[in-house]
Amino acid sequence: MSVVVLLSRDSLLLKQLQVAFDRCAPQLEAVLADDPRAARAQVAACWFPPAGSLGRLANLQVIHSVAAGIDHLQHDPSCPDLPVCRVVDPGHRQGMTEYLRWAAIHYHRGFDQVLEQQRERRWERPLQRPARQFRVGVMGLGSLGSAIALDLAAAGYAVRGWARSAKALAGVQTFVGPRQLEPFLDDVELLINLLPLTAETRGILGRDTFARLARGAALVNVGRGGHLDLDDLQQALASGQLRGALLDVFEQEPLPTEHPLWTTPGVTITPHMASAASHDCIAEQVAENLRRLQLGEVLLNEVDRAQGY
């Protein structure tokens, strides 16, 4: 029986994936790193693999992210130079759309302020404005980012988007490339990041970016933790340049219990739940790629490791 090894620092996820593999790919043995059978694995299914775990697998031929991104693999310096695949779940777009629609309403309607007022037992209605007067900026206009921008524009928001290459989206003002980043950011009240994490985008959510936004703007990061400069975020929140930040992704996941973000005023933390591939979808796509590997066929959803997506 073929073996897939599951590698993650998240013990709950490992248990859930084992159940999904048993249900959806019973022809495989899905084992953990400490199982002797792991040495036979040709495919490793990973989410933030522990340091050194990939380098110990002598028979490994494919590294499979269990998510849409692959940057979490960098947390294991022993990661070998092998083909890398990701999971593409058709339901991923719907989940992300729901999450970001909620985020837009949360800040547009002032629910962040209302929740703070409740803790203070203070009765005060936030100023109400029509959606067309609330300026939303979407960074990253790939398949997900474009869907989000179009959804928010259809809901009536004043939406602009920024991407590396030109895009034409109905009802969305688009900006292209580094030279148009500053005009894109000017006076945005809600900045949503969906960029891939690359050498060019690492740290892009920092002081210079925050300074261009409208004073009292809010940030939503559903890209990657490496996009965000935490020191600059703290300063922007303390100064009032940012009124809040909704963070779903972090450089280390799960976020350590002692991390200061848990108690930073204005920060809302969600546990990487904006959208995720279903466990059944993960099991099915990893199993299909193992089958393709063994038959010498083209792998599904193989990524360009140099570009990071």
pLDDT, tens digit, 9 for 90 and up, residues 60-93: 999 999 988 898 998 999 999 999 999 988 788 8
Same domain, 246 and 162: yes
Tally of domains in the chain: 2
Answer yes or no: is pLDDT of 186 > 90. Answer: yes
pLDDT at position 88, please?
A: 87
Report the pLDDT averaged over residues 147-158. Answer: 98
Query: Would you say residue 238 lies in a domain?
Result: yes
Whether 254 and 287 map to the same domain: the answer is: no
Is residue 261 domain-resident? yes
Residues 208 and 126 in one domain: yes
- Does 139 map to a domain? yes
What's the pLDDT tens digit per position in 199-249? 899 999 999 999 999 999 999 999 999 999 999 999 999 999 999 999 999
Question: Is the same domain home to 116 and 204?
Answer: yes
Condensed to tens digits (0 to 9), the pLDDT of residues 259-283 reads 999 999 999 999 999 988 899 999 9
pLDDT of residue 253: 85
> Within this chain, do residues 201 and 243 fall inside the same structural domain, yes or no?
yes
pLDDT in tens, 99-113: 999 999 999 999 999
Q: How high is the pLDDT of residue 188?
A: 98
Domain annotation covers residue 131 = yes
Per the model's pLDDT, the better-predicted residue between 74 and 6 turns out to be 6
- Residue-level pLDDT at 308: 66
The answer to whether residue 181 is domain-embedded is yes
Do 249 and 104 belong to one domain?
yes
From the CB of residue 306, how many other CB atoms can be counted at a distance below 10 Å?
7
Q: What is the pLDDT of residue 27?
A: 96
- The CATH number assigned to the domain holding 64 equals 3.40.50.720
Asked if the model's pLDDT at residue 254 lies above 90, the reply is no
Catalytic residues: 224, 272
Are 66 and 118 in contact, with CB atoms under 8 Å apart?
Answer: no
Residue 309 lies in a domain: no
240 and 131 in a common domain: yes
- pTM metric for this prediction: 0.82
> Are 103 and 85 found together in one domain?
no
User: Could you tell me where the DSSP H helices lie in 109-156?
Assistant: 111-119, 143-154
203 within domain boundaries: yes
Q: Are 19 and 115 within one domain? A: no
What lies within 8 Å, CB to CB, of 78 at 6+ separation is 51, 52, 53, 54, 55, 56
Q: What is the pLDDT of residue 15?
A: 96
Instruction: Report pLDDT for 309.
Output: 64
Average of per-residue pLDDT values in the chain? 95
Range with lowest mean pLDDT among 6-10, 67-71, 171-175, 277-281: 67-71
**Cα separation of 40 and 246, whole Å?**
42
Same domain, 80 and 201: no
Q: Is the pLDDT of residue 306 over 80?
A: no
Q: What was the pLDDT predicted at 90?
A: 78
Q: Which domain holds residue 124?
A: 92-269
Which string of DSSP letters, residue by residue, matches 185-248?
Answer: HTT-SEEEE-----TTTTT-BSHHHHHHSPTTEEEEE-S-GGGB-HHHHHHHHHHTSEEEEEE-
The answer to whether residue 215 is domain-embedded is yes
* 165 and 286 both lie in a single domain: no
**Residue 167 and residue 45 share a domain:** no
d(CA 39, CA 54): 11
